[in-house]
Amino acid sequence: MSSVLEIRNLHVSVEDKPILKGVNLTVRQGEVHALMGPNGTGKSTLAYTLMGHPGYTVTAGQVIFKGVDVLELEPDERSRLGIFLAFQYPVAIPGVSVANFLRTAINARRKAANAADKGISIPEFRKLLKAKMDLLQMNHEFAGRYLNDGFSGGEKKRAEILQLATLEPQIAILDETDSGLDIDALRIVASGVNTLAGPELGVLVITHYQRILNYIKPQFVHVMHQGRIVETGGADLALHLEEHGYDWVREKHAD
């Protein structure tokens, strides 16, 4: 049975200012969704709320995943349940290698599931990481670099995709992963997402522009306006937005 992320009538405020005003969205394992909309409509607010950022206050609604309201869970518990967030602006961690970061993350999950777990052995982890990097066509030297320290925009996003591949969630939220990428980096990152997307992984791509959807093909496209999802369609909806912009959305859904 596939896992389903179900967002029900979600209302969220930041510093007492309402941002999300009744978001309804269902993402199933194996599906690729794109969430589009002008800046300031609440797309990133939705992403951070789903992962439990403390700066966002939920005032109404539910987010159900695997029969649990994840709004009642801490961010690490949401991650262990099978939800992943790739950040728009990943943070650098000097002194911590990509490999050590990923091994620590795996061991934290194993420890939470079983307090007696001794963690993944170094040989086993090296084999796992090598397999994931080969899958994503990444140079193995990348694993020895400090996480995001001195990385280009494309390298930061590739590190996020490597985390996604290694942690194997059921639902991945990509918050404007295309932000700041040139066309070559965009293709590389999109290729990684396409490699991982499939029956075991549902993906919610949050983006302002249609261009990433030239490489990641969604089955469903949603348009957010003033804190709500106001339009839903197929991939052709993204092409319509590319051609006509968002003015027609604003006019159609003007309060």
Specify burial of residue 46 (Cβ count, 10 A radius: 0-12, 13-18, 19+): buried
| Alpha carbon of residue 138 to chain centroid | 20
CA distance linking residue 141 with residue 147, whole number of Å? 12
- Would you state the torsion angle of the CA atoms of residues 207, 195, 120, 51, taken in this order, to the nearest 10 degrees? 20
pLDDT at 11: 97
**Helix or strand or coil: residue 102?**
helix
pLDDT at 255 > cutoff 80? no
What pTM, to 2 d.p., does this model score?
0.93
Judge whether 90 and 160 are in contact, CB under 8 Å: yes
**Contact (CB, 8 A) for 161 and 196:** yes
DSSP code at position 71 = G
Residue 250: pLDDT band by 50, 70, 90 thresholds? confident
The pLDDT confidence band at residue 82, using thresholds 50, 70 and 90, is: very high
Rounded CA-CA distance 100/93 in Å is 11
User: Of 21, 16, 61, which is closest to residue 41 (Cα–Cα)?
Assistant: 21
Q: Where are the beta strands (DSSP E) in 31-109?
A: 32-36, 57-65, 68-69, 83-86, 93-97
Which pLDDT score, from 0 to 100, does residue 120 have? 94
Average pLDDT of the residues of the chain: 92
Sheet holding 202-207, edge to edge: 83-86, 171-175, 202-207, 32-36, 220-225, 228-233
148/91 Cα distance (integer angstroms): 7
Catalogue all structural domains in the chain, each as residue range(s) with its CATH number: 4-93+169-252 (3.40.50.300)
Per residue in 45-75, pLDDT (tens digit) is 999 999 999 999 999 999 999 999 999 999 9
Q: Is 8 helix (H, G, I), strand (E, B) or coil?
A: strand
**How sure is the predictor about 1, in pLDDT bands with cuts at 50, 70 and 90?**
low
Helices (H), 52-182: 75-81, 98-113, 122-135, 153-167
Decide if 145 contacts 100 (C-beta within 8 A).
no
User: Which pLDDT tens digit goes with each residue over 175-190?
Assistant: 988 877 888 888 888 8
Give the pLDDT confidence score for residue 18 in this predicted structure.
95
pLDDT tens-place string over residues 191-206: 988 999 889 999 999 9
